[in-house]
Amino acid sequence: MTIKDLEVGVTVASTLIGLCWLGLGPSIEKEQTLRTWASRWLPKCLVIRKREPNSEAIRQLQEYLAEKRKVFTIPLHQIGTPFQRRVWEELLRIPYGETRSYGEIAIKVKNLKGQRAVGMANHRNPIAVIVPCHRVIGKNGNLTGYADGLDIKQRLLELEDKHIGFY
């Protein structure tokens, strides 16, 4: 897929409940990351290469990247610690084209000095883009950290910035 002018691989995984993992970047690397993640969080499950269960997620991601979708409507299966899931739920409340700081998210999840913990939860977000961790920036407006790379984060924010001005 292409994010603005950057060609990236997409690796997705789902359970019967919903999409549980999405990574952007080199497919071989992301598939290994997925397998490591699955062995930790879903140790009794198998990772099977099959496109069909994930075709709707891929379609919606393509629409988003083509600037034809602002809200994802696919079911999610968010797997993580209770704190991580609270952070990810808060990320889902950040509207398209807007950003929040790590500190603002920390306050929303009632961990007033937890900016670093929020940063780690963002880093461990297994459903990138759809759970929009790219919309979290430093309090001074700087781009900081993104598991799939700052170049991807910047392009995702630029993609959304065409429609609504921010930072």
Structural domain of 156: 82-161
Average pLDDT on 139-165 reads 78
Residues recognised as catalytic? 133
* pLDDT reading at 166 higher than 70: no
Residue 76 within a domain: no
Structural domains in the chain (count): 2
Write out the DSSP string of 100-142.
Answer: EEHHHHHHHTT-TT-HHHHHHHHHT-SBTTTS-GGGEE-TTS-
44 and 95 both lie in a single domain? no
Domain at 113, CATH number:
1.10.10.10
Q: Is 70 helix (H, G, I), strand (E, B) or coil?
A: coil
pLDDT in tens, 114-137: 889 999 999 999 999 999 999 999
Query: Full-prediction pTM beyond 0.95?
Result: no
| One domain for residues 57 and 114 | no
